[in-house]
Chain A
Amino acid sequence: MPSSDIIGWFADISLSDRPTVGGKGGSLGELTRANIPVPPGFVVRTAAFERFLSALERDEPIRSKVEALAAHELERISALSEHLRARVESAPLPEDVNSEIRAAHAELSRRSNNPPVAVRSSATTEDAADASFAGLQDTYLWTIGAEETLKRVRSCWASLYSVPSIAYRRKHEMPESGVAMAVVVQGMVNARKAGVMFTRSPLTGDKSVVTIEGAWGLGSAVVSGEVTPDRFVIAKITGEISVREISNKHVQHLPAPEGGVREVETPEELRQVPCLSDEEIRALREIARKVERHYGRPQDIEWAIDQLGEIHLLQSRPETVWSSKERAPVAKPTENPLQHVMKIFGGRR
């Protein structure tokens, strides 16, 4: 099925579609179009949410009720939140929204070897702080079946009406008319190992290295901090692996049979074993460089390696911590180039 104003397949969208597919969705589209191995998927565009919201508004106003609240009225916010979330999670979907998401899910199931999907909210705001305060970071892994997928899409939407989310918008007096959300539905990688990588060092900001963190099982254990991952540092240019910190990876996240993720103990004999081989580290570096070149700036990347050893990227976003720091130049050119040696010969360094 083709993309529409409700559904956008990754291959058809890019970062410029951010207003309708959100940052996460746009980025996955961008990566797909750059031939970077991303599990297939689609975005439920903001229009789907807006149509749903319009349908709900016909029964009973929503936006005006939220806007009538003040940030400090926590009890009232709480009551309204409970009410609105229940509506979002249970009211019938507009027929076109319902059928298009089901159709896209069916198509994705055909295309992907792994019927389970990840459902993730995809914020349209540029500001990462806004997104996290607004509760736009929901992720539902290993979601099985169209029914469950639709339920998770609604959960993402409903998170817009969580107490912190409403309170945040009220505090910043953000108009409810601008509130929108896209939802990513992506084929799940049955990861043997997974983690994150940074195309500049999170410790020193060094742009000449790729830092890779990983552990056994799904990447959620690493992202949530429930396991101390192995850490590898590889030189971006030479491919030298300079750091191999192997940690005791005592737990891992695995798919639960009924859907979702369960935490299990890592088998004793695997805990202290490096989760990545040198070849895998080098292959991840290649992909990291490709992504960074594509975006033209340092990236934070989520990766997974499946049971067959194939690498998949699950997400990439611009690195923000070091990139926003002002740094004094290490050295400036000197009129007499020899002056530079005084740093060595001139005394305490």
Chain B
Amino acid sequence: MTTTTVNATAKPKGFPLPSSLKVVAGTERAQAAYPYYMQFTKEDDDRFWFYNSMHFPEPMCVFDMITAEAAYCALGSANTRVHSLPTTLGIDYRIINGRVYIGGNGVTDPAEIQKRTEEFQKRAFFYYGNWERLFAQWKDKMMGLIRQAEAFPRLDLPEFEPLQHVHAGRGIASNHYILETYQKTLEGYFRMWHHHFEFLLLGYGAYLTFFDFCKKAFPEISDQTVARMVAGLEAEIFRPDDELRRLAKCAIDLGIDKEFHEGRSPDEIINSLKQLGASGEAWLRELAVSRDPWFNINVGDGFYHYHRAWNDDLSMPFAALPGYIANAKKGERLERQTDKLMEERKKLIADYRELLETDEERAAYDQMIELAHRVFPYVEGHKFYCEHWYTNLFFNKIREFGSLLAKHGFFPDAEDVFQLSHYELESAIVDLMTSWSNGSLPRGPERWPAIVRERKAAIAEWSKHETPPALGPVPDIIDDPAIVMLWGITRENLDTWLKAGEMPNSNEIKGVAASNGIVEGVARVVKAAEEIDRLHHGDILVCQVTNPSWALVFQKISAAVSDIGGSMSHAAIVAREYGLPAVVGTGTATQKIRDGQRIRVDGGRGIVTLLD
């Protein structure tokens, strides 16, 4: 590995400085809407930042930045204050032109590392040692939080307080509950993110410990093989897709499968099923079973308000049903054969174990894989509860505030609420409370519509502009376990990105070899979840990042390429499950590959070749 030392005298090889990145002309006011603590400053030029396109591949509107805020707050406190990771604190974040850049806060002072190590072993080791119990407790806490959010009251500002409130002597008027519910909604979301990070880094760390061992013992082992030794199969995040397969089989068993074909909307299908009588009703009952809770999965990763849950928009799951039905009729087994897969996993572990040199190594291997297996259910399972189920509830509640404010003329459409920051939204709510209470007109309807228009235009503009994958001087070593684990960013990665910048004409794009095989085909560059339906059978999916609800498209495509992600990223896992070649973590595939271009994906080598 070549390393570049960053120092002040020699001009280091690096990415553009944050200060050289300009706000797109005409969008300055929209940029200023983001809270001051997210704006780049001159001092930020001294640090390394990278574009978090894994979580935020599209420009973030000002309300949605609450996800970055809540998530980094929770990640940072878990690392810095709760578990005391020895070499890293939290993650700083900035936003410019709607693009979120993040940077790690490493600890380098040996005395500080020593102090933090002692704390870490008291804290993290307790978590590892009591993992199952704490994880069971975590699920209870998470379900409690979900039930609490589901029980938030509906928002209502009646002309007169209901008489029973008066008779009961409640003494508090409805406008107060609007504010209270808003504050509880925010509180719940910030709390959920603390739960999210309670185990996450420890889980990834234990996994990476085993991964690291395998890479040393078997220098040429593929990332995906290590992943297969660790991956569980029962994780909640696979369930929504499993449920669709179950519903497809159910439709065949009930003899109503011909009702499902492409081009038919969910409403049309549901209506005609109702008319079918018993068999249709039986299927709809099964659908209801699947929906609660498994359709609480959203079509994104929970980071954008417009990535709606399947429960809120059935078109995504229904679009996949014809394909699953066709596969089942061809005789493919729809259920994932978990027993067989578990058997394979066991054999893989045993076969590699046998190749180790000594019994001593075998004993260490046993210890590490045991720990990796212990932590992995959390690593795989938490997303369903956090990024999907709870996040859907959260955005839908905010949407209710949007409806209320739209009804009172604050902006034309309920969805416009997401163009206000969470501070601004609170001010609009107080404005509405006040006007409701004193009988005068709210001020918001004069203020917000123009601002909303301006900010929507800015988002549209920003999405047309590419942004550098990273900013600032390149660190000589990336030693932040959070950055390595969560974003798969290593020094080698950065060198590749830098080289890509130097050789704009190269027809090869390098990434992480995520799933084996070679395929040539037509690239479909999909930059947003709504574009998924542009994928045709046999296309190669080229995207910034995929997430669990995209699993559906893997039955159509012939290979997958992503900008961001490591061998344990979603695209990699699903591609392996479907046996499709995949190259992830390319950094620039969506910028370099033209929609419709012929490309070759070599998933074994991690190389994408542009063929025309």
Contacts and interface: CB of A to CB of B under 8 A. Distances in A.
Contact of B225 (A205, A240, A330, A336): A240
Contact of B220 (A206, A330, A343): A206
Contacts of B221: 206, 208-209, 235
Given A207-B218, A242-B604, A346 B87 contact: yes
Given A207-B355, A208-B218, A345-B85, A240 B516 contact: yes
B501 interface: no
Contact of B208 (A203, A243, A344, A348): A344
B530 interface: no
Contacts of B368: 331, 337, 340
B361 A242 contact: no
Contact of B129 (A327, A338, A340, A347): A338
Given A201-B219, A206-B220, A345-B205, A243 B125 contact: no
A333 B367 contact: yes
Nearest to A333: B363
Contact of A243 (B86, B129, B205, B605): B605
Contact of B222 (A207, A235, A329, A337): A235
Nearest to B365: A331
Contacts of B348: 237-238
Given A332-B364, A333-B363, A340-B364, A240 B224 contact: yes
Interface string A306-349: 00000000000000000000010111111011101111111111
A238 B225 contact: yes
A204 interface: yes
Interface string B128-143: 1100000000000000
Given A206-B219, A208-B352, A345-B86, A334 B367 contact: yes
A144 interface: no
Interface in A41-99: none
A242 B124 contact: no
A203 B128 CA distance: 37
Contacts of A345: 85-87, 120, 124, 205, 481
Q: How extensive is the interface on chain B, given as a class?
A: 35 or more
B604 A241 contact: yes
A204 B222 CA distance: 14
Contacts of B355: 207-208, 236-237
Interface stretch (B45-53, B209-217, B391-399): B209-217
B420 interface: no
Nearest to B228: A238
B477 interface: yes
B371 interface: yes
Contacts of A242: 220, 222, 513, 516, 604-605
Contacts of A141: none
B205 A344 contact: yes
Interface SS majority for chain B: helix
A209 B220 contact: yes
B122 to A, nearest CB: 12
A244 interface: yes
A30 B44 CA distance: 69
Contacts of A209: 218, 220-221
Nearest to B221: A208
Given A235-B222, A242-B604, A344 B481 contact: yes
A305 interface: no
Contacts of A243: 220, 604-605
B118 to A, nearest CB: 12
Contact of B212 (A206, A241, A349): A349
Nearest to B87: A347
A332 B371 CA distance: 15
Contacts of A203: 220
A201 B224 CA distance: 19
Contacts of A236: 355
A244 B205 contact: no
B554 to A, nearest CB: 19
Contacts of B479: 347-349
**Top 3 closest A-B pairs, CB basis?**
A333-B363, A337-B367, A204-B219
20 contacts: A208-B218, A235-B225, A237-B348, A237-B352, A240-B224, A242-B220, A329-B361, A330-B213, A330-B217, A331-B368, A334-B364, A338-B125, A338-B371, A343-B209, A344-B208, A344-B209, A344-B212, A346-B113, A346-B117, A347-B86
Interface of A: 201, 203-209, 233, 235-238, 240-244, 327, 329-334, 336-338, 340-349
Given A337-B370, A344-B212, 9 more contacts: A201-B220, A243-B220, A243-B604, A330-B216, A331-B364, A331-B365, A333-B364, A340-B371, A345-B481
Interface of B: 85-87, 113, 117, 120-121, 124-125, 128-129, 202, 205-206, 208-209, 212-213, 216-222, 224-225, 228, 348, 351-352, 355, 357-358, 360-361, 363-368, 370-371, 477, 479, 481, 513, 516, 602, 604-605
